[in-house]
Amino acid sequence: MKTKKPVLSRSYLYKTIVLSTSQLVLAGCSNTMSAKQAEPPASRPAYEKIAEHYLLNTSFTAQGQDERIRFVILHYTALNQADSLAMLTGPQVSTHYLVPENPQWRGGEPVIMQLVPESKRAWHAGVSSWGGWRALNASSVGVEMVNRGYTELPSGWRQWYPYTPQQIKAVSILLKDVIARNQIQPYNVLGHSDVAPLRKSDPGPLFPWKQLAGMGIGAWPDPQTVEKHLAGRAPKQAAVVLEVQQSLKRYGYDQIPQSGELDEDTRKTISAFQMHFRPADYSGNADAQTEAIAKALLEKYRQ
Ligand SMILES: [Zn+2]
Protein backbone atom coordinates (compact mmCIF):
# COMPACT_ATOMS: atom_id res chain seq x y z
CA MET A 1 0.00 0.00 0.00
CA LYS A 2 1.34 3.43 -0.89
CA THR A 3 1.06 6.36 1.49
CA LYS A 4 0.51 9.78 0.02
CA LYS A 5 3.19 12.35 0.78
CA PRO A 6 1.83 15.79 1.65
CA VAL A 7 2.81 18.83 -0.33
CA LEU A 8 5.00 20.99 1.90
CA SER A 9 4.71 24.74 1.64
CA ARG A 10 7.88 26.82 1.19
CA SER A 11 7.65 28.42 4.64
CA TYR A 12 7.09 25.06 6.32
CA LEU A 13 10.12 23.54 4.59
CA TYR A 14 12.31 26.47 5.62
CA LYS A 15 11.17 26.16 9.22
CA THR A 16 11.83 22.43 9.46
CA ILE A 17 15.32 22.68 7.91
CA VAL A 18 16.33 25.43 10.30
CA LEU A 19 14.99 23.40 13.18
CA SER A 20 16.77 20.21 12.15
CA THR A 21 20.23 21.76 11.76
CA SER A 22 20.08 23.63 15.05
CA GLN A 23 18.86 20.50 16.79
CA LEU A 24 21.75 18.52 15.37
CA VAL A 25 24.36 21.00 16.55
CA LEU A 26 22.79 20.97 20.02
CA ALA A 27 22.60 17.18 20.11
CA GLY A 28 26.30 16.94 19.20
CA CYS A 29 25.96 13.42 17.84
CA SER A 30 29.06 13.84 15.70
CA ASN A 31 31.84 16.21 16.74
CA THR A 32 33.17 16.59 13.22
CA MET A 33 29.85 17.37 11.54
CA SER A 34 29.35 21.06 10.90
CA ALA A 35 25.92 22.64 10.67
CA LYS A 36 26.56 23.19 6.95
CA GLN A 37 27.28 19.48 6.28
CA ALA A 38 24.29 18.41 8.32
CA GLU A 39 21.83 20.12 6.01
CA PRO A 40 19.82 17.56 4.07
CA PRO A 41 19.95 17.65 0.29
CA ALA A 42 17.70 20.40 -1.04
CA SER A 43 15.82 17.98 -3.30
CA ARG A 44 14.33 16.07 -0.36
CA PRO A 45 12.11 17.43 2.37
CA ALA A 46 13.73 17.26 5.81
CA TYR A 47 10.70 15.63 7.37
CA GLU A 48 8.37 13.28 5.56
CA LYS A 49 4.81 12.51 6.47
CA ILE A 50 5.05 8.73 6.19
CA ALA A 51 3.33 7.68 9.42
CA GLU A 52 0.34 8.99 11.30
CA HIS A 53 0.77 11.33 14.29
CA TYR A 54 4.50 12.00 13.76
CA LEU A 55 6.95 13.15 11.10
CA LEU A 56 10.01 11.16 10.00
CA ASN A 57 13.34 12.77 9.17
CA THR A 58 14.81 10.33 6.64
CA SER A 59 17.64 12.52 5.35
CA PHE A 60 20.40 10.52 7.09
CA THR A 61 21.36 6.88 6.53
CA ALA A 62 23.41 4.75 8.94
CA GLN A 63 26.31 2.64 7.66
CA GLY A 64 25.60 0.02 10.32
CA GLN A 65 22.98 -2.12 8.61
CA ASP A 66 22.72 -5.30 6.57
CA GLU A 67 20.12 -7.48 4.87
CA ARG A 68 17.57 -9.17 7.14
CA ILE A 69 17.47 -12.18 4.80
CA ARG A 70 20.84 -13.93 4.41
CA PHE A 71 19.90 -17.53 3.55
CA VAL A 72 17.63 -19.52 1.28
CA ILE A 73 16.82 -23.04 2.53
CA LEU A 74 15.48 -25.81 0.30
CA HIS A 75 13.25 -28.67 1.43
CA TYR A 76 11.17 -31.52 0.18
CA THR A 77 7.77 -31.96 1.78
CA ALA A 78 7.84 -35.80 1.92
CA LEU A 79 4.12 -35.63 1.05
CA ASN A 80 1.92 -35.39 -2.04
CA GLN A 81 0.63 -32.02 -3.32
CA ALA A 82 -2.67 -31.95 -1.37
CA ASP A 83 -1.13 -33.09 1.92
CA SER A 84 1.84 -30.70 1.46
CA LEU A 85 -0.50 -27.76 1.04
CA ALA A 86 -2.67 -28.83 4.00
CA MET A 87 0.38 -29.19 6.26
CA LEU A 88 2.06 -25.96 5.18
CA THR A 89 -1.07 -23.84 5.60
CA GLY A 90 -1.83 -25.35 9.03
CA PRO A 91 -0.73 -24.00 12.43
CA GLN A 92 2.56 -25.92 12.83
CA VAL A 93 4.93 -25.45 9.90
CA SER A 94 5.03 -23.11 6.92
CA THR A 95 7.18 -21.91 4.05
CA HIS A 96 7.51 -18.82 1.90
CA TYR A 97 7.27 -20.75 -1.36
CA LEU A 98 5.81 -24.12 -2.36
CA VAL A 99 6.83 -25.53 -5.73
CA PRO A 100 4.46 -28.24 -7.06
CA GLU A 101 5.81 -31.47 -8.53
CA ASN A 102 4.29 -30.57 -11.89
CA PRO A 103 3.85 -26.79 -11.87
CA GLN A 104 1.31 -25.13 -14.15
CA TRP A 105 2.86 -22.91 -16.80
CA ARG A 106 1.10 -19.76 -17.96
CA GLY A 107 2.56 -17.81 -20.84
CA GLY A 108 5.83 -19.69 -20.43
CA GLU A 109 6.10 -18.93 -16.69
CA PRO A 110 5.67 -21.40 -13.82
CA VAL A 111 2.98 -20.89 -11.18
CA ILE A 112 4.62 -21.06 -7.72
CA MET A 113 2.63 -20.79 -4.48
CA GLN A 114 3.55 -18.14 -1.92
CA LEU A 115 2.22 -19.04 1.54
CA VAL A 116 4.13 -16.45 3.61
CA PRO A 117 5.39 -13.07 2.36
CA GLU A 118 9.19 -12.67 2.48
CA SER A 119 8.82 -9.82 4.98
CA LYS A 120 7.50 -12.32 7.55
CA ARG A 121 9.11 -15.35 9.17
CA ALA A 122 8.05 -18.78 7.92
CA TRP A 123 8.46 -21.82 10.17
CA HIS A 124 10.51 -24.21 8.06
CA ALA A 125 14.04 -24.52 9.45
CA GLY A 126 13.42 -25.40 13.13
CA VAL A 127 16.52 -25.81 15.30
CA SER A 128 19.21 -24.89 12.80
CA SER A 129 22.57 -23.18 12.40
CA TRP A 130 25.02 -22.14 9.72
CA GLY A 131 28.31 -20.25 9.90
CA GLY A 132 27.65 -18.89 13.38
CA TRP A 133 23.99 -18.02 12.75
CA ARG A 134 21.29 -19.77 14.77
CA ALA A 135 17.52 -20.32 14.44
CA LEU A 136 17.50 -19.55 10.73
CA ASN A 137 13.75 -18.99 10.35
CA ALA A 138 14.46 -15.37 11.26
CA SER A 139 17.05 -14.82 8.52
CA SER A 140 16.04 -17.12 5.66
CA VAL A 141 13.60 -17.67 2.83
CA GLY A 142 12.10 -21.17 2.86
CA VAL A 143 11.41 -23.06 -0.39
CA GLU A 144 9.49 -26.35 -0.14
CA MET A 145 9.30 -28.70 -3.10
CA VAL A 146 6.58 -31.32 -3.35
CA ASN A 147 8.56 -34.56 -3.37
CA ARG A 148 7.93 -37.78 -1.44
CA GLY A 149 11.48 -37.99 -0.09
CA TYR A 150 12.49 -41.63 0.26
CA THR A 151 11.27 -45.12 1.04
CA GLU A 152 13.42 -47.20 3.36
CA LEU A 153 14.03 -50.64 1.84
CA PRO A 154 14.24 -53.82 3.95
CA SER A 155 18.01 -53.78 3.32
CA GLY A 156 18.19 -50.42 5.10
CA TRP A 157 18.97 -48.55 1.88
CA ARG A 158 16.93 -45.48 1.03
CA GLN A 159 15.17 -45.26 -2.32
CA TRP A 160 14.87 -41.58 -3.19
CA TYR A 161 12.12 -40.06 -5.32
CA PRO A 162 13.43 -37.99 -8.23
CA TYR A 163 12.49 -34.36 -8.87
CA THR A 164 10.74 -33.65 -12.16
CA PRO A 165 12.65 -31.54 -14.75
CA GLN A 166 9.73 -29.05 -14.80
CA GLN A 167 9.90 -28.65 -11.02
CA ILE A 168 13.67 -28.06 -11.12
CA LYS A 169 13.18 -25.51 -13.89
CA ALA A 170 10.54 -23.70 -11.82
CA VAL A 171 12.73 -23.81 -8.68
CA SER A 172 15.70 -22.38 -10.58
CA ILE A 173 13.61 -19.47 -11.90
CA LEU A 174 12.33 -18.76 -8.37
CA LEU A 175 15.78 -19.03 -6.76
CA LYS A 176 17.41 -16.68 -9.25
CA ASP A 177 14.91 -14.00 -8.31
CA VAL A 178 15.03 -14.62 -4.53
CA ILE A 179 18.85 -14.63 -4.52
CA ALA A 180 19.16 -11.46 -6.61
CA ARG A 181 16.56 -9.48 -4.66
CA ASN A 182 17.99 -10.42 -1.26
CA GLN A 183 21.65 -10.44 -2.35
CA ILE A 184 22.19 -13.94 -0.94
CA GLN A 185 25.78 -15.27 -1.12
CA PRO A 186 26.35 -18.57 -3.03
CA TYR A 187 27.48 -20.38 0.17
CA ASN A 188 24.23 -19.34 1.88
CA VAL A 189 22.02 -21.21 -0.63
CA LEU A 190 21.43 -24.32 1.46
CA GLY A 191 19.48 -27.51 2.03
CA HIS A 192 17.64 -28.25 5.27
CA SER A 193 20.19 -31.04 5.82
CA ASP A 194 23.03 -28.48 5.67
CA VAL A 195 21.60 -26.41 8.52
CA ALA A 196 20.19 -29.33 10.58
CA PRO A 197 22.42 -32.29 9.56
CA LEU A 198 21.79 -34.33 12.71
CA ARG A 199 18.04 -34.66 12.07
CA LYS A 200 17.24 -33.79 8.42
CA SER A 201 17.98 -35.30 4.98
CA ASP A 202 16.10 -32.96 2.67
CA PRO A 203 16.30 -32.02 -0.18
CA GLY A 204 18.25 -35.31 -0.50
CA PRO A 205 20.98 -36.61 -2.84
CA LEU A 206 18.83 -36.39 -5.99
CA PHE A 207 18.46 -32.62 -5.77
CA PRO A 208 20.67 -31.34 -8.63
CA TRP A 209 22.89 -28.80 -6.82
CA LYS A 210 25.59 -29.05 -9.52
CA GLN A 211 23.11 -28.31 -12.31
CA LEU A 212 21.82 -25.26 -10.42
CA ALA A 213 25.36 -24.03 -9.69
CA GLY A 214 25.94 -24.17 -13.45
CA MET A 215 23.09 -21.66 -13.74
CA GLY A 216 24.69 -19.35 -11.18
CA ILE A 217 22.63 -20.61 -8.21
CA GLY A 218 24.54 -21.57 -5.05
CA ALA A 219 28.11 -22.70 -4.45
CA TRP A 220 30.19 -25.29 -6.29
CA PRO A 221 33.93 -26.03 -6.08
CA ASP A 222 36.24 -25.61 -9.08
CA PRO A 223 37.31 -29.11 -10.25
CA GLN A 224 40.99 -28.14 -10.69
CA THR A 225 41.12 -26.83 -7.10
CA VAL A 226 39.58 -30.10 -5.85
CA GLU A 227 42.27 -31.97 -7.82
CA LYS A 228 44.98 -29.82 -6.24
CA HIS A 229 43.75 -30.60 -2.70
CA LEU A 230 43.36 -34.29 -3.54
CA ALA A 231 47.11 -34.18 -4.15
CA GLY A 232 47.33 -37.52 -5.94
CA ARG A 233 45.40 -39.49 -3.28
CA ALA A 234 42.70 -41.98 -4.29
CA PRO A 235 39.25 -40.34 -3.77
CA LYS A 236 38.10 -42.98 -1.25
CA GLN A 237 41.38 -43.05 0.69
CA ALA A 238 40.81 -42.32 4.38
CA ALA A 239 41.50 -38.72 5.40
CA VAL A 240 42.43 -37.33 8.82
CA VAL A 241 39.02 -37.01 10.52
CA LEU A 242 39.93 -33.84 12.46
CA GLU A 243 41.03 -32.20 9.20
CA VAL A 244 37.59 -32.87 7.64
CA GLN A 245 35.78 -31.77 10.82
CA GLN A 246 37.70 -28.48 10.92
CA SER A 247 37.15 -27.78 7.21
CA LEU A 248 33.39 -28.42 7.40
CA LYS A 249 33.06 -26.26 10.52
CA ARG A 250 34.88 -23.40 8.79
CA TYR A 251 32.64 -23.71 5.75
CA GLY A 252 29.46 -23.38 7.84
CA TYR A 253 28.54 -26.75 9.41
CA ASP A 254 29.03 -25.48 12.94
CA GLN A 255 27.31 -28.45 14.61
CA ILE A 256 30.09 -30.88 13.56
CA PRO A 257 32.17 -32.14 16.52
CA GLN A 258 35.89 -31.33 16.60
CA SER A 259 36.82 -34.64 18.21
CA GLY A 260 39.07 -36.32 15.65
CA GLU A 261 36.67 -39.31 15.87
CA LEU A 262 34.24 -40.52 13.23
CA ASP A 263 31.38 -40.42 15.76
CA GLU A 264 27.69 -40.47 14.80
CA ASP A 265 27.24 -36.68 14.68
CA THR A 266 30.38 -36.32 12.54
CA ARG A 267 29.19 -39.04 10.17
CA LYS A 268 25.76 -37.43 9.77
CA THR A 269 27.26 -34.02 9.07
CA ILE A 270 29.76 -35.40 6.54
CA SER A 271 26.86 -37.26 4.91
CA ALA A 272 24.86 -34.00 4.62
CA PHE A 273 27.87 -32.31 3.02
CA GLN A 274 28.28 -35.22 0.59
CA MET A 275 24.57 -35.20 -0.36
CA HIS A 276 25.10 -31.58 -1.41
CA PHE A 277 28.53 -31.74 -3.06
CA ARG A 278 29.19 -35.44 -3.85
CA PRO A 279 25.84 -37.20 -4.02
CA ALA A 280 27.23 -40.37 -5.66
CA ASP A 281 28.53 -41.44 -2.22
CA TYR A 282 27.06 -39.92 0.94
CA SER A 283 28.15 -42.73 3.29
CA GLY A 284 29.55 -40.21 5.78
CA ASN A 285 33.12 -41.53 5.54
CA ALA A 286 35.88 -38.97 5.98
CA ASP A 287 37.67 -39.63 2.71
CA ALA A 288 40.27 -37.72 0.69
CA GLN A 289 37.81 -36.48 -1.95
CA THR A 290 35.43 -35.09 0.71
CA GLU A 291 38.33 -33.25 2.32
CA ALA A 292 39.50 -31.91 -1.07
CA ILE A 293 35.99 -30.64 -1.97
CA ALA A 294 35.67 -28.91 1.41
CA LYS A 295 39.06 -27.24 1.01
CA ALA A 296 38.26 -26.14 -2.54
CA LEU A 297 35.02 -24.54 -1.29
CA LEU A 298 36.89 -22.78 1.52
CA GLU A 299 39.44 -21.46 -0.95
CA LYS A 300 36.74 -20.14 -3.27
CA TYR A 301 34.24 -18.71 -0.76
CA ARG A 302 35.67 -18.45 2.75
CA GLN A 303 39.08 -16.81 2.42
ZN1 LIG B 1 12.90 -29.54 5.55
Q: Considering only residues 222 and 45, tell me which one the structure prediction assigns the higher pLDDT.
A: 222
Q: How many A from CA of 122 to the centre of ligand 1?
A: 12
Query: Which residues, in sequence order, are CB contacts of 62 under 8 Å at separation 6+?
Result: none
What residues are labeled active site?
Answer: 144
Q: Sign (positive/negative) of CA torsion 71, 136, 161, 284?
A: positive
Task: Assign domain 223-301 one CATH number from 3.30.390.30, 3.40.630.30, 3.90.950.20, 1.10.101.10.
Answer: 1.10.101.10
pLDDT at residue 38, as a whole number: 52
Query: Which residues, in sequence order, are CB contacts of 66 under 8 Å at separation 6+?
Result: none
Which of 28-32, 72-76, 243-247 bottoms out in mean pLDDT, i.e. has the lowest? 28-32
Classified by CATH at the fold level, domain 71-214 comes out as: Lysozyme-like (3.40.80)
pLDDT at residue 52, as a whole number: 82
Region 231-248: what's the mean pLDDT? 98
Q: How many A from CA of 75 to the centre of ligand 1?
A: 4
Query: Which tens digit of pLDDT belongs to each residue from 81-120?
Result: 999 999 999 999 999 999 999 999 999 999 999 999 999 9
Q: Is the Cβ–Cβ distance between 187 and 71 less than 8 Å?
A: no
Q: Is the Cβ–Cβ distance between 171 and 76 less than 8 Å?
A: no
Region 57-76: what's the mean pLDDT? 92
For the chain, domain boundaries: 1-65, 71-214, 223-301
Distance separating alpha carbons of residues 141 and 95, to the nearest angstrom: 8
Q: Residue 197's beta-bridge partner residues? A: none
Task: Check if 71-214 and 223-301 are the same fold.
Answer: no
pLDDT at residue 67, as a whole number: 82
Q: How many A from CA of 192 to the centre of ligand 1?
A: 5
Which 3 state secondary structure label does DSSP give 156? coil
Model confidence at 148, pLDDT cuts 50, 70, 90, reads: very high
